[in-house]
Amino acid sequence: MAVNLFRGVRFFARALRLRFQLTPIDRRSPFNGVLSDQGFRELNLDKSIFSDLLKLYESNPGKNLYFSADDYQTVDNLFLDVAPQVKSYLGERAYLDGMMWVVTDAIQGSKRGASNWHTDNVGNRVRLFLCIKGDGTQPTLIVPTKRRIPDFKEWMTNTLLETIRWMGFKFKKKFSNVVEMRHKTGSAFLWDSQLFHRAGHETGRSDRIILSIEFSVPEKHKIAKGPIGTKEHLEFSFDNQLLESNAFSSILDRDRLKPDGASLVYTENVL
């Protein structure tokens, strides 16, 4: 990427605007549960979830997800553990935004923008990374903090550092307090993308397949507009029967459900 000072200035201006618009919304979050201390946690989920998800991926690789009635138990087991933690952290206003497969190989992955330090610039947003194939050599690197909302000094430091990336420079500085979320087959990491983070693809020795699941407060979607909400790549569909799962249905925003025969599509609410 060529050096572009204008892109950096434009990014900083947007980040500053979002800081003042999104922080009041984030301050209403309870920040309880397993993420309350450092903003991330490795979860111990039923291993059958991962084998079932691998079969699902292999049946339709790289495409938007579809959960049939046969996937009821998998979905129920997954959200039985995860949904309460999301609500405990972000509050009852939080809902599922969507899911997508993230597939990276050791060579191409290192060329992605996510390999440079950044935040997602959407305030507090919870992501779940379920690794269905991986050897731990392509971790997600994070800088934990005790503050769930960074103070202005910390925010300014991180934003100025990220501005370097938007200008076209690589930024993979080694921080002393970095934690590696090592994605091995069967690992599950729940984390807040407000944390300063980057993808450690450059050390990868094999392909990695992750199911990325995102959760946020819908009030933010029209403000941030960018990488938050149920964008097309996060859309998925499922059999109506899965609504009988209390764990799954509790985290769904009913305004984003679109009937499609015997199925429902979870898509962006355009109202």
CATH code, 188: 2.60.120
Edge-to-edge strand list for the sheet holding 196-199:
179-181, 140-143, 196-199
In a domain, 89, yes or no: yes
CA 264 to chain centre: 22
Residue 6 reports pLDDT greater than 80: yes
Confidence check: pLDDT of 193 > 60: yes
The pLDDT assigned to 110 comes to 46
Residue 43 has pLDDT above 50, yes or no: yes
What pTM did the predictor assign? 0.93
**DSSP letters along 239-265, please?**
EGGGGG-HHHHTT--GGGEEEETTEEE
232, pLDDT greater than 80: yes
What is the structure's pLDDT at 152? Answer: 95
**For 32-41, what is each residue's pLDDT tens digit?**
999 999 999 9
Is 271 part of a structural domain of the chain? Answer: no
Assess whether pLDDT exceeds 60 at residue 22.
Answer: yes
Q: What percent of the chain has pLDDT over 70?
A: 94
pLDDT of residue 196: 93
Q: What's the pLDDT tens digit per position in 71-114?
A: 999 999 999 999 999 999 999 999 999 999 999 887 655 445 47
The answer as to whether 70 is a domain residue is: yes
Q: What is the average pLDDT across 240-249?
A: 97
* Maximum Cα interatomic distance, the chain, rounded to a whole number of Å: 53
Q: Work out the number of other CB atoms within 10 angstroms of the CB of residue 216.
A: 27
| β-pair partners for 208 | 104
Q: Is residue 230 part of a domain?
A: yes
Number of domains in the chain: 1
Per-residue model confidence (pLDDT) at position 171: 67
Residue 174 predicted with pLDDT over 80:
no
Cα–Cα distance between 213 and 271 in angstroms, integer? 23
Q: Is the residue at 41 inside a domain?
A: yes
Domain that holds residue 157: 5-266
pLDDT > 90? residue 258: yes
- Residue that has been written with the tokens 């947003």 in this structure: 125
Are the CB atoms for 90 and 228 separated by under 8 Å?
A: no
